[in-house]
Amino acid sequence: DTGVSQDPRHKITKRGQNVTFRCDPISEHNRLYWYRQTLGQGPEFLTYFQNEAQLEKSRLLSDRFSAERPKGSFSTLEIQRTEQGDSAMYLCASSLTGQRSYNEQFFGPGTRLTVL
């Protein structure tokens, strides 16, 4: 399978703990996005990388959140000192710049975080 993969698929943690999620994009894709989806809502943009550069961060991304894409391939999203309000599905998407692909973003299955 050459789609976007995310790990883990599910994470349960206690309030105050740190968690880290990983996203592996489609191999030739240079753009990578993180979104957050809460129950009954559509996904909301968190942050975006082009290659290894983090070019935009949403105001939703508090200072407890950090994301990296060190070699322009996989990305990690870390949440420090988790709060119950962080419980959500975290989605990763990737895309390839260029006219033919026209920014179709391919989504991974998501990581569901539950903070107790």
Partner 1 sequence: GNSVTQMEGPVTLSEEAFLTINCTYTATGYPSLFWYVQYPGEGLQLLLKATKADDKGSNKGFEATYRKETTSFHLEKGSVQVSDSAVYFCALSNYGGATNKLIFGTGTLLAVQP
Least distance to partner 1 from the beta carbon of 70, Å? 20
Smaller CB separation from partner 1, 17 or 41 = 41
Smaller CB separation from partner 1, 33 or 82 = 33
Query: Which of 19, 90, 110, 111 touches partner 1 by CB under 8 A?
Result: 110
Rule CB under 8 A: say whether 44 interacts with partner 1: yes
Please tell me what DSSP assigns to residue 49: E
Burial of 74 (0-12, 13-18, 19+ CB in 10 A): middle
Least distance to partner 1 from the beta carbon of 85, Å? 18
Within 10 angstroms of residue 95's Cβ, the number of other Cβ atoms is 21
Within 10 angstroms of residue 62's Cβ, the number of other Cβ atoms is 12
Within 10 angstroms of residue 69's Cβ, the number of other Cβ atoms is 21
Smaller CB separation from partner 1, 44 or 68 = 44
Handedness of CA 61, 66, 69, 75 (dihedral sign): negative
Residues that bind partner 1 (CB under 8 A): 4, 31, 33, 35, 40-45, 48, 55-56, 91, 93, 95, 102-110
